[in-house]
Amino acid sequence: MCKILKKNIAVFASGRGSNAQKIIEKQNELSYKVVLLVCNNKNALALELARQNGIETLVLDRNEFYNTGKIISDLKNHKVDFLVLAGFMWLVPSYLIEAFSQKIINIHPSLLPKYGGKGMYGMNVHNAVFLNEEKESGITIHEVNAEYDKGKVLLQKKIALEKIESAENISASVLELEHEYFAKTISEWVDGKFKD
Ligand code: GRF
């Protein structure tokens, strides 16, 4: 992969950052370069991971994020082309969605539109899937608009749930899919594969 063709991405994460880790690990063989890790939680493992990999970090202040446009200049300073939400728990404000129109991607641990929307994150999703005795679950990778989990779907991958015995098992299987497909899909997306 020729370095000059790579697109700069900022990864937004809030917690343990296992998806961020895969995205960072795979960047050498793919079309993007992680130039910034943005986090809303100063104690998140995702931040530590970025530092260990020599990636610059930005810790968000809630008031500043929602009431000023300062992050736009931070992203410009790092020459960020695309934003990747990898377990980022805050709603992206509309000014940021407008500034990066069709340039924000998210991964969700269910087959949207099922189990999406406010409050549907992490184990809340998998518990609901399990309690409803769904026959399948999976991942959805989608563009981000101003409503939670409602942007254009780019990729879905499914797992069958017949033999699964707990919400924790669903979570583990879904996470495996995330780790397998997110980095590759980001790469194809920044290359324009999903353009209409
Ligand atoms: C993932 O399941 C992702 O789908 C969801 O939040 C979780 C983040 O996990 N949006 P991690 O922080 O990447 O390990």
Predicted confidence at residue 4, as pLDDT, reads: 63
Quick: pLDDT tens for 173-189.
999 999 999 999 999 99
pLDDT digit string (tens) for 37-57?
999 999 999 999 999 999 999
Catalytic residue from among 78, 108, 126, 179: 108
**108 is known as an active-site residue:** yes
Amino acid at residue number 15: G
Compute the distance from residue 71 Cα to the ligand 1 centre, in Å: 22
- Alpha-carbon distances of 188 from 3, 19, 34, 159, rounded to whole Å: 16, 17, 15, 22
What is the amino acid identity at position 157?
A: K
CA distances 189 to 30, 45, 101, 192, Å, are 11, 26, 14, 5
Instruction: State whether the beta carbon of 107 lies less than 6 angstroms from ligand 1.
Output: yes
pLDDT of residue 164: 81
pLDDT band at 140, cuts 50/70/90? very high
**Average model confidence (pLDDT) across the chain:** 95
The C-alpha atoms of residue 49 and residue 128 are separated, in whole angstroms, by 30
**CA of 178 relative to ligand 1 center, distance in Å:** 8
More confident residue, 148 or 10: 10
At 81-134, the pLDDT tens digits run 999 999 999 999 999 999 999 999 999 999 999 999 889 999 999 999 999 999
